[in-house]
Amino acid sequence: MAAKPKLYYFNGRGRMESVRWLLAAAGVEFEEVFLETAEELQNLIKDGKLMYQQLPMVEIDGMKMVQTRAILRYIAGKYNLYGKDLKEQVLIDMYVEGMRDLYDIIMFSPLSLPEDKEKNLSFINERITQRFFPVYEKTLKDHGKNYLVGNQLSWADIHLLELILMVEECKSDALSAFPKLQEFKTRISKLPRIQKFLQPGSPRKAPLNDALYETAKKTLNFDKGLFFKYSSTIIAKF
């Protein structure tokens, strides 16, 4: 029996959360190694396990994989979540890359300085309602099928549901103007593997809180104020 994938990160969402989602959607059990100190990270670097001296890292199929998008593309391809041909794959990539822009803004918003929080939330809301969600609403409406690409579940669908739930943590009525996305959320959430991942006690992680922030700060060397205002560019060392 092949070894379970092993995920190396701190015990929080960050860039590893999408990997957890994708593995869960594929029905793949995995193990996690939670780093709690900078010394543990340095030991991985000294052992030559981190190509760019940063996390996340996933051990899978005899490889020590780094760079989140590379990890996700490998998992999506391995478990038939990456479309049936190159045209479907590039559509999936286009959707996912757009989602990542919004995802990063939301993920790093808890690191905003207190005086910037309201402006950043307003910026997030503008991006949600004017730039990103209209794209996926129109795609589902024009496409007329249950999924974003083709007629089967893909990485893009899984990432979109993850993003929707993150957005709703910031703005509970975010889907009020997007009926197709409301239907999509309900439909994808009911898929057995996704439903299991959404249950309490699953490997899904909670939003960043003060305790997780302190652990991540010590381990990954970042601090508040890294949210780059009015841009999707995020400056951080992970």
**Each residue's pLDDT tens digit, 44-102:** 999 999 999 889 999 999 999 999 999 999 999 999 999 999 999 999 999 999 998 88
What pLDDT score was predicted for residue 119? 81
Q: pLDDT by residue (tens digit) across 7-44? A: 999 898 989 999 999 999 999 999 999 998 888 999 99
Q: What angle do CA 224, 164, 4 make, to 5 degrees?
A: 80
Residue 175 belongs to what domain range?
86-191
Q: pLDDT by residue (tens digit) across 124-173? A: 888 888 889 999 999 999 988 899 999 899 999 999 999 999 999 988 99
Total Cβ atoms within 10 A of residue 98: 19
Q: Is the pLDDT of residue 226 over 70?
A: no
| Domains held by the chain: number | 1
Q: Tell whether 106 is covered by a domain.
A: yes
Q: Which of 132, 135, 111 is nearest to 234 (CA)?
A: 111
* Percent of the chain at pLDDT exceeding 90: 60
Q: Tell whether 176 is covered by a domain.
A: yes
Q: What is the 3-state secondary structure (H, E, C) of 203-217?
A: CCCCCCCHHHHHHHH
Q: Tell whether 16 is covered by a domain.
A: no
Cα dihedral 79, 53, 101, 149, rounded to 10, equals -10
Spatial contact of 157 and 147, defined as CB atoms under 8 Å apart: yes
Q: In whole angstroms, give the CA distance from residue 96 to residue 205.
A: 20
Q: Tell whether 202 is covered by a domain.
A: no
Q: Alpha carbon of 9 to those of 17, 124, 178: distances in Å?
A: 10, 26, 34
Q: Tell whether 92 is covered by a domain.
A: yes
Q: Is the pLDDT of residue 122 over 80?
A: yes
Residue with tokens 């007329």: 144
140: domain CATH number?
Answer: 1.20.1050.10
59: which 2 tokens? 């051990």
Average pLDDT of the segment spanning 171-197: 95
Q: Considering the entire predicted model, what is its pTM?
A: 0.88
Q: Tell whether 137 is covered by a domain.
A: yes
Q: Tell whether 91 is covered by a domain.
A: yes
Q: Which residue has better confidence, 116 or 57?
A: 57
Q: Tell whether 99 is covered by a domain.
A: yes
Q: In whole angstroms, give the CA distance from residue 121 to residue 98.
A: 19
